[in-house]
């Protein structure tokens, strides 16, 4: 009888030989940017907690207060009985904070994107997607069954040609605002001009810009001064906001349509109300504690100055994402291991997350880091590079 698992074992062995096996460490928070992994205390440059809010006392207190008031489960989908007054207040406050008419809260960024895109476009429509978009955007596009055009990364000329050649009923451009592996920002102003010219909508995933960029941390669209009824603004709340979930914001008509059509919203049990209370506290802190963004900006400049002489490519990025492109999978893993031996955790990112031949250390900075932390990382990187 044929072994039903033999093919999987063979494919796993192939992944291992290509240095593409992923492992899942058990992590314990210690304080700030310090974690304990397998009994080792490490200085971490791997988290998307860009403002250091995941352990903020105001958020922890809000979680405790929310649990005491609402319990720890929602019990049903939002359209049945899972939508609480805490969720209602959070959506209202997110809309006001980002400058939009209305917002809708989802349980995660992945859940949001695989629901939003198919609710906006389908058969007979066209979607235009950046080649380096996050997996959840790619999967949302596939689920939509719309005609798909993938344009080279941030290539406005190619995007314009694709839009001009489309006769689709509805057109939707989909892009990350800040790209998660390179830290560069999409040319959103120019994209909105193309939307006006070709009667299209622009959906941006601001997972890595919300809370960090723009006035008071209102996000990349606010940073670039974009305000249009054609804008579909999505952002996650498990990164700079320090908790969990995501939201989509925009014109009230668009958001109402998404609520009525997004299957990942309609058919999923709602996130517990205590999380909504945590996020309300987070938005308040993001607005009021601007020193966190100022400190993060200084750390970014300090790191870039310190890595200028390294032999690895360091793409231009003014965001908290600072990749160091090494190239080979084995070499990137070796650099990560060498840093871990020095008590520093900067993850090696390999294909298929990034293109072949561009394996890298993805350094993520946080307001929880100190200047001394960055200096320690730079010294270790120089030592490893030698």
Give the catalytic positions in this structure: 180, 208, 239
Please, which residues bridge with residue 105 across strands?
247
In the numeric block, which tokens belong to residue 329?
Answer: 């999978």
- Known binding residues for pyridoxal 5'-phosphate are 109-110, 180, 208, 236
- Known binding residues for substrate are 22, 134, 353
- Known binding residues are 22, 109-110, 134, 180, 208, 236, 353
In the numeric block, which tokens belong to residue 87?
Answer: 């969720």
Please, which residues bridge with residue 130 across strands?
151
Please, which residues bridge with residue 364 across strands?
321
Burial category of 385 from C-beta neighbours within 10 Å (exposed 0-12, middle 13-18, buried 19 and up): middle
3-state class of 250 per DSSP?
A: strand
Q: How far apart are the first and last CA of the chain?
A: 53
Write out the DSSP string of 290-350. Answer: THHHHHHHHHHHHHHHHTTTSSSB-----SSEEEEEEESHHHHHHHHHHHHHTTEE--EE-
In the numeric block, which tokens belong to residue 125?
Answer: 């429509």
- Side-by-side strand order, sheet with 231-236: 102-106, 246-250, 231-236, 200-205, 171-176, 126-130, 147-151
Closest CA to 23 of 348, 327, 344: 348
Write out the DSSP string of 92-143. Answer: HHHHHHHT-SEEEEES-HHHHHHHHHHHH--TT-EEEEETT--HHHHHHHHH
Closest CA to 47 of 259, 333, 273, 238: 238
**DSSP-derived secondary structure letter, 71:** -
Report the distance separating Cα 147 and Cα 166, nearest Å: 10
- Side-by-side strand order, sheet with 40-44: 27-31, 34-37, 40-44, 344-345
Cβ-proximal residues to 146 (8 Å cutoff; 6+ apart), any chain = 121, 122, 123, 124, 125, 126, 127, 168, 172
């Amino acid at each position: 009888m044929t072994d039903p698992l033999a093919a999987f074992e063979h494919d796993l062995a192939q992944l291992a030989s290509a240095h593409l096996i992923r492992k899942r460490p058990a992590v314990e928070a210690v304080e700030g940017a310090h974690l304990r992994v397998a009994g080792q205390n490490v200085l971490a440059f791997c988290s998307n907690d860009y403002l250091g809010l995941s352990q903020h006392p105001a958020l922890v207190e809000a979680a405790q207060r929310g649990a005491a008031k609402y319990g720890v489960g929602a019990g049903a989908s939002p359209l049945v009985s899972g939508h609480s007054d805490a969720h209602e207040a959070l959506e209202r406050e997110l809309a006001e904070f980002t400058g939009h008419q209305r917002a809708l809260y989802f349980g995660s960024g992945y859940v949001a994107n695989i629901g939003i895109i198919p609710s906006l476009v389908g058969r007979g429509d066209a979607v235009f997607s950046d080649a380096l978009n996050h997996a959840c955007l790619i999967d949302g596009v596939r689920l939509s069954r719309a005609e798909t055009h993938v344009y080279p990364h941030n290539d406005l000329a190619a995007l314009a040609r694709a839009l001009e050649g489309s006769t689709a009923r509805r057109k939707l451009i989909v892009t990350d605002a800040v790209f998660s592996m390179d830290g560069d920002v999409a040319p959103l102003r120019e994209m909105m001009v193309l939307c006006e010219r070709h009667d299209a909508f622009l959906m941006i995933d601001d997972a890595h810009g919300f809370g960090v960029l723009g006035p008071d941390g209102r996000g990349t669209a606010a940073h670039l001064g974009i305000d249009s009824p054609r804008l579909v603004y999505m952002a996650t709340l498990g990164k700079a906001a320090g908790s969990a979930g995501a939201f989509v914001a925009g014109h009230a008509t668009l958001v109402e349509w998404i609520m009525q059509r997004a299957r990942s919203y309609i058919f999923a049990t709602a996130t517990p109300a205590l999380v909504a209370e945590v996020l309300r506290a987070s938005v308040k802190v993001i607005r009021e504690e601007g020193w966190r963004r100022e400190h993060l900006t200084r750390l970014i400049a300090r790191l870039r100055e310190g890595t200028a002489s390294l032999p690895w490519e360091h793409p231009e990025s003014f965001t908290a994402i600072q990749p160091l492109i090494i190239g080979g999978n084995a070499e990137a893993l070796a650099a990560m291991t060498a840093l871990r031996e020095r008590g520093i955790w900067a993850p090696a990112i390999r294909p298929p997350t990034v293109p072949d031949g561009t394996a890298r250390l993805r350094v993520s900075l946080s307001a929880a880091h100190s200047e001394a932390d960055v200096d320690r990382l730079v010294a270790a990187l120089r030592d490893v590079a030698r």
